[in-house]
Structure 1
Amino acid sequence: MVERLDGHTILIGLMAYPIRHSMSPTMHNNAFAKLGLNYAYLAFDVTNKELPGAIDAIRTLGMRGSNISMPNKQKVIPLLDKLDPAAEMVGAVNTIVNDNGVLTGYTTDGTGFMQSLDDENLDIRGKKMTLAGAGGAGTAIAIQAALDGVKEISIFNLKDAHWEQAKKNVATINAQTKCKATLHSLDEQDKYRSEIAASAIYCDATGVGMKPLQDQSLITDPSFFRQDMIVFDTVYAPRETKLMQIAKKAGVKHVFNGLGMMLEQGAQAFKLWTGEDMPVDYIHELLFADASK
């Protein structure tokens, strides 16, 4: 790494809070090194308060761009110059590309989620999904799944700051795709249970299970799950979340954290910044070997 850094090194960032747990710097810096690219990827603790200054710094410092994660994926939109059509539809951004001072926002979360399932030879197209969360990742997953052919999506969320976004997601899906979407409150536990029971996949796209909520799960009863379904938690630190532990107690065969999704969304961001294909097999081996420690 040190030998690669010089006066011509191009900086790419990751702006979120909390973020020191992220595997993205490991992923991108090893990919740069593998391909001999003179880039460096650093993580920055950035809250909504610091976000405007951080986005200005992309232009000021001549950074190539940045990843954006919670809690900034929606707050960043007014600070950008342009949006990719998918990001505009989703209403959230996880990748910024700087072209000579013009900042364009993209979303790669949804396609990363779908590709990570394809990588495991699991196909949810034509099937029903229950999804918790309507933040940046939840929104991207819902809309991309609908666009890719998931038949029905039941979205659950608290009646909090993301409730209005959840309503927009349902309206967008029903108006612009062939998927049927419905919205329910997480307080409706009987409905929550019955929708999961009728689904091929349950996905938690909230921050529950990630520090400082690592000992919590929206679902505490293993009987919510069937053995033949998929349980997917977008959190990947810790590697095994409370939700994953509960799903395994239920004997669920296919239980995943967010590492595969992170890898695939990162590969797309890598291409946007460098024009090169990430060495996905190499990075997959590196990340998942680390995950097993």
Structure 2
Amino acid sequence: MANKITGVNGPITGWLDGHTYLIGLMAYPIRHSMSPTMHNNAFAKLGLNYTYLCFEIGNDKLKGAVDAIRTLDMRGSNVSMPNKKEVIQYLDKLSPASEMCDAVNTIVNDHGVLTGYTTDGIGFVQSLKDEGIDIKGKVMTLTGAGGAATPIAVQSALDGAKEIRIFNIKDDKWAQAEKNVKTIQEKTDCQVSLTELTDQEAFKQSIAESDIYCDATSVGMKPLEDKTLVSDPSWFHEDMVVFDTVYAPRTTKLMQVAQKAGVKHVFDGIGMMIDQGAASFKLWTGKEMPTDYIREIMFSDDNK
């Protein structure tokens, strides 16, 4: 999809000038990102003099890139893989959620002081709120322990989830999952547990007892678009939420299974993606992102 800038009165050109604030996205690889389309259209819609650019930066160039935020007086930057943990050592402060996640996806530059935030979990919680669902007091089964699952678990706990049951295979993310459990137990009142995903009976029972099932793994995304961790519709009950953080394809295999089960609230990751961007947007600009407009721009039939 092309990075079009539409603005209020049609296409905008020549909106950059000597007063434009620069915001970046530092990751590798990153040229595929939809974030420039989202943020630049939001800036244009609100008439804000900002621009958002991608920079292919890995760990080897990260220190210099972060130094450049200060040197060039950039307003800030998003950070994605492989830099979310590595970047912390170059920052001055961290938000409580970033400290708990040990990861950063948003940097804000306040007169040379760089603060790291993580907005992925905020995006998850807000996307549920957008649908009239409050995480507070809920029991959630969560699969995964990586870059999406960790902030989802942490932010859900911070926002009052009653219990989070994490399921993961014993892979390279298992140690992170153990750390997530310990951190949440120490910092919040949320009950949290970790179980191997191979224990299918425990997994099935947990989903049956949960208000929310969230798959924060890459299962369902290419090249695994024909896969799902839950293939039996009988595992779900109709009053629960089934949430897949994947947003391409638009209807994942998991979502198909949930729909077959008659689940009332089945969501893909589009809302989370937009709302995490909106949280970063507000940190930089102090303004609310026009999320309905952005959803229309980015996910209309023409842009699927």
Q: Which is worse superposed, 147-156 or 8-17?
A: 8-17
- Which among 22, 25, 39 is matched to residue 14 of structure 1? 25
**Structural mapping, 1:225-264, within 5 Å:** 225-264=236-275
Q: 1:117 to 1:102 in 2, by over 3 A?
A: same
Distance verdict in 2 for CA 1:53–1:232, change over 3 Å: farther
How much has 1:52 moved relative to structure 2? 4.1
Structure 1 alignment gaps of length 5 or more: none
Q: Distance in 1 between matches of 2:301 and 2:50?
A: 23
Q: 1:71 to 1:200 in 2, by over 3 A?
A: farther
Q: Secondary structure at the match of 2:243?
A: strand
Deviates more, 1:210-219 or 1:185-194: 210-219
- Contact 2:282 2:289 (8 Å CA) reproduced: yes
> In the alignment, which residue of structure 2 is the partner of 1:146?
157
Aligned to 1:35: 46
- The Cα shift of 1:95 comes to 0.6
TM-score (ref. length: structure 2): 0.85
Task: Give the fraction of aligned pairs with identical amino acids, expressed as a percent.
Answer: 69
* Cα offset, 1:227, TM superposition: 2.6
Query: CA 1:239/1:72 → structure 2, altered by over 3 Å: closer, same or farther?
Result: farther
Matched, 1:125 2:108: no
Other-structure match for 1:114: 125
The alignment of Structure 1 onto Structure 2 pairs a total of residues equal to 293
What is the distance in 2 between the residues matched to 1:221 and 1:52? 47
Greater alpha carbon shift after TM alignment, 69-78 vs 152-161 = 69-78
In 2: Cα distance, 1:151 partner to 1:13 partner: 36
Query: Post-superposition shift, 1:60?
Result: 4.5
Report what 1:76 is aligned to: 87
Alignment CA distance shift 1:67-1:248 (3 Å): same
Deviations 1:254-292 (A, max 9, x none): 111111112222222111112222223432443443588
* Match of residue 115 from structure 2: 104
TM-score by structure 1 length? 0.88
Q: What is the root-mean-square deviation of aligned Cα atoms in Å?
A: 2.5
Distance, in Å, in 1 between the alignment partners of 2:228 and 2:82 is: 19
Larger radius of gyration: 2
Task: Report SS of the residue matched to 1:124.
Answer: coil
Check 1:121–1:291 CA distance in 2 against 1; reply closer, same or farther (3 A cut). farther
2:99 aligned partner: 88
The CA distance in 1 between the partners of 2:212 and 2:101, in whole Å, is 21
- Contact kept, 8 Å, 1:124 with 1:200, in 2: the verdict is no
The 1:214–1:2 alpha-carbon spacing in structure 2 relative to 1, beyond 3 Å, is farther
Counterparts of 1:224 and 1:77 in 2: how far apart (Å)?
40
C-alpha deviation, 1:75, in angstroms: 2.9
